[in-house]
């Protein structure tokens, strides 16, 4: 099911609509970044008993604009030992995917303007959600090459951390997306949204059990390098992380991409698990309600992101890896089996679920016994097992 706009071939009007859609999405995304940075700073200062930005413009709304302008006029430094070409390329490798991912997000329903019916999303490729995974992998290159090409140690350490982290959590991201695809019978984001459209209890968050949503949300937070997974830029350890050597407009691009990805990932969570623009509408202004629902849900998730940042301390690197590889990937694999079984029949689902639980318990017990045995031979207390190990997270 593709965009009905192209059903009758290409002509000038179709081109115009496409160009307008691209421009509107571009503008909306840039504005949303401005607002998101303001929103994050305001909400986090709410949670820290502060006022937050309030000098530039009404309620400090223009603070980001002021900061951006300042960044643009700063000196653009290029480290002597940097690889010049890659150093200049890296910010664009980060920022372009950030823009492109948003193109597959359905922001509204299907509308008809001047006899042209089209979907309110920039593009609806049949591979939709794979496009998201592909681009979020490209974004890893931006981070990795930025650190590598800086020719200094902190950025390199930051980028090594970041790329390892992003690649690990991409596995979870992919597995949870597979569950969504299994349930929605389609890769296109529009078909994923329409398959959830009937009622709120048909949203994937409920249909798939809450676990895939939780896994996806945690993995996407890790993928975004946002707290509590912001080891890539851990200020207290690495200076600024992979963008330590960047300044001026190139730094602004990283910053832009980071917040754009935050907005986009919240939009993707809404698309995959919360029915996208789905929600009760009214007869007047029929086209507006889906957009409002989509925006409202996205803002709710953005609030959640900020809340998480305010509430949780940063993970240690081994905890991060343990959480990813020892808890989230096994759980998502197991849950994928259960979903696959559920598509066959309820009996299969139950059997696989029971099998998974027994397997997980046996595995946990085996690991615990092994750890205890090793601790007793080394003469260490049992408390020395790593936090976030199998005893701590998940079943």
User: Residues binding other proteins: what is the number (CB under 8 A)?
Assistant: 18
Q: Is residue 377 involved in binding other proteins (CB under 8 A)? A: no
CA 317/CA 207 separation, integer angstroms: 34
Asked if 49 is part of the footprint of other proteins (rule: CB under 8 A), the reply reads yes
Answer for which of 54, 117, 345, 365 binds other proteins (CB under 8 A) is 54
Minimum CB distance to other proteins, residue 52 (Å):
9
Tally of CA atoms within 13 A in the half-sphere of 278 that contains its CB: 22
In the complex, the smallest distance separating the C-beta of residue 319 from other proteins, rounded to whole angstroms, is 12
Q: Is 395 in the site for other proteins (CB under 8 A)?
A: yes
- Say whether residue 210 binds other proteins (CB under 8 A): no
Nearer to other proteins, 239 or 394 (CB): 394
Q: Concatenated DSSP letters for 85-124? A: HHHHHHHHHHHHHHHHHHHTS--S-EEEETTEEEESSS--
Contact residue for other proteins among 11, 12, 51, 381 (CB under 8 A): 51
Which CB, 47 or 77, lies closer to other proteins? Answer: 47
Residue at token pair 């840039």 = 30
* Angle at the Cα of 183 from the Cα atoms of 181 and 185, rounded to 5 degrees: 60
Instruction: State the chain's maximal CA–CA distance in angstroms.
Output: 79
Structural contact between residues 270 and 108, judged by C-beta atoms closer than 8 angstroms: no
List 1, 30, 50, 285, residue binding other proteins (CB under 8 A): 50
For the segment 180-209, give every residue that binds other proteins (CB under 8 A): none
| For other proteins, the closer CB: 247 or 364 | 364
Task: With contacts defined by CB under 8 A, name the span among 41-49, 93-101, 105-113, 267-275 that binds other proteins.
Answer: 41-49
Separation of alpha carbons 259 and 84, rounded Å: 26
Least CB distance to other proteins at residue 257 (A): 26
Displacement of CA 359 from its chain's centroid (Å):
30
Residue 249, Cβ neighbours under 10 Å: how many? Answer: 15
Bond into 114 cis (ω within 30) = no
Give the shortest CB-388-to-other proteins separation in angstroms.
Answer: 10
Binder of other proteins out of 48, 58, 283, 378 (CB under 8 A)? 48
Phi-psi region of 127 (alpha: psi -120 to 50; beta: other; left: phi over 0): alpha
Site residues for other proteins, 311-370, by CB under 8 A, read 311-313
CA distance 155 to 238: 7
Residues of span 141-170 touching other proteins by CB under 8 A: none
End-to-end alpha-carbon separation of the chain, Å?
A: 40
- Show the site string, 279-308: x = touches other proteins by CB under 8 A, - = not: ----------------------------xx
Q: For residue 310, state whether it binds other proteins (rule: CB under 8 A).
A: yes
Count of H-run helices and E-run strands, the chain = 14, 2
Residue 110, phi then psi, degrees to nearest 5: -105, 130
Backbone angles phi, psi at 223, to 5 degrees: -65, -30
Q: For other proteins, which is the closer residue by CB, 48 or 377?
A: 48
Copy the structure tokens of residue 43.
């909400």
- Per CB under 8 A, 46 contacts other proteins: yes
Q: Which stretch binds other proteins (CB under 8 A): 110-118, 146-154, 329-337, 385-393?
A: 385-393
Q: Which stretch binds other proteins (CB under 8 A): 40-48, 108-116, 317-325, 343-351?
A: 40-48
Interacting residues toward other proteins by CB under 8 A? 46-51, 54, 307-308, 310-313, 391-395
């Amino acid at each position: 099911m593709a965009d009905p706009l192209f059903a009758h071939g290409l002509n000038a009007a179709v081109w115009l609509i496409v160009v307008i859609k691209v421009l509107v999405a571009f503008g909306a995304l840039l504005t949303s970044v401005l607002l998101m940075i303001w929103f994050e700073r305001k909400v986090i200062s709410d949670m820290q008993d502060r006022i937050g930005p309030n000098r530039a413009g009404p309620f400090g709304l223009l603070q980001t604009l002021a900061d951006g302008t300042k960044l643009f006029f700063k000196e653009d430094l290029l480290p002597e030992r940097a690889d010049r070409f890659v150093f200049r390329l890296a910010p664009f490798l980060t920022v372009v995917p950030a823009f492109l991912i948003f193109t597959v997000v359905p922001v509204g329903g299907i509308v008809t303007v001047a006899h042209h019916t089209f979907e309110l999303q920039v593009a609806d490729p049949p591979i939709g959600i794979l496009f998201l995974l592909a681009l979020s992998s490209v974004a890893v290159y931006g981070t990795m090459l930025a650190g590598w090409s800086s020719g200094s140690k902190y950025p390199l350490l930051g980028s090594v951390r970041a790329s390892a982290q992003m690649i690990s959590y991409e596995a979870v991201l992919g597995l949870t997306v597979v569950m969504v695809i299994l349930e929605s019978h389609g890769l296109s984001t529009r078909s994923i949204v329409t398959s959830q459209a009937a009622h709120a209890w048909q949203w994937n968050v409920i249909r798939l059990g809450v676990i895939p949503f939780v896994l996806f949300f945690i993995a996407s937070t890790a993928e975004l390098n946002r707290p509590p997974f912001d080891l890539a830029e851990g200020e207290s350890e690495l200076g600024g992380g992979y963008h330590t050597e960047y300044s001026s407009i190139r730094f602004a691009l990283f910053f832009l991409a980071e917040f754009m990805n935050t907005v986009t990932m919240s939009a993707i969570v809404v698309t995959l698990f919360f029915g996208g623009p789905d929600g009760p509408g009214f007869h007047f202004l029929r086209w507006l309600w889906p957009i409002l629902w989509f925006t409202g849900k996205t803002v709710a998730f953005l609030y959640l992101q900020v809340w998480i940042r305010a509430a949780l301390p940063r993970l240690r690197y081994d905890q991060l890896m343990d959480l990813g590889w020892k808890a989230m990937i096994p759980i998502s694999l197991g849950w994928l089996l259960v979903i696959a079984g559920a598509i066959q029949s309820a009996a299969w689902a139950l059997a696989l679920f029971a099998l998974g639980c027994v397997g997980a318990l046996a595995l946990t017990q085996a690991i615990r016994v092994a750890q205890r045995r090793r601790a007793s031979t080394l003469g260490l207390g049992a408390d020395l097992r790593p936090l976030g190990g199998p005893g701590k997270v998940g079943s």
